[in-house]
Amino acid sequence: MNRQLRIRRVMPAKKDVERLSQFRYVLRTFLRYSEEITQLAGITPLQYSLLVHVHGMPGRSWATVGELAERLQAASNGAGALVSRCERAQLVVRKKLGDKDRRLVQVHLTRKGERCLYKLAALHLDQMKELRRILAET
């Protein structure tokens, strides 16, 4: 994010800052929970994020490396390296779209990747519901 910040001249209301604090707390709580359960499942939080984004593409169950880079907010070469690590862990497989350009590939989940995603996604969704309830109270 290289955009210059525009600072408001009026101080936000105390209640608004409290809501921001609560939101950041809930967000960090969710991320910490995610770190713990993904590591217990034997994968990294980034690998889990990749699985979510591969299967979570609107209208299809695969993604390109470029799309994954965007979703992960990472450089394309970093996303490609993560796909390679997930391939070695047998979580995903690359399928070529053409012979001319190696970059034109679809990334698909393997059966192992699907099982891992479904198990972890169910836990994440349960946690998300609980945290949504907490946020609604503020």
pLDDT at 2: 54
Q: What is the DSSP letter of 10?
A: S
48-93 tens-digit pLDDT: 999 999 999 999 999 999 999 999 999 999 999 999 999 999 999 9
Between the two ends of the chain, the Cα-to-Cα distance in Å is 28
- Listed in sequence order, the residues at least 6 apart from 14 whose beta carbon sits closer than 8 Å to its beta carbon are none
Q: Calculate the CA dihedral of residues 74, 75, 76, 78 and round it to 10 degrees.
A: -80
Q: What is the pLDDT of residue 119?
A: 98
Residue whose structure tokens are 């608004």: 16
In angstroms, rounded to a whole number, what is the distance separating the alpha carbons of residues 50 and 56? 10
| pLDDT score recorded for residue 101 | 67
The two tokens of residue 54 are 């591969």
Q: How many helices (H) and strands (E) does the chain have?
A: 5, 3
Task: Convert the pLDDT of each residue in 1-39 to its tens digit.
Answer: 556 677 767 889 999 999 999 999 999 999 999 999 999
The domains of the chain, with CATH numbers, are 16-136 (1.10.10.10)
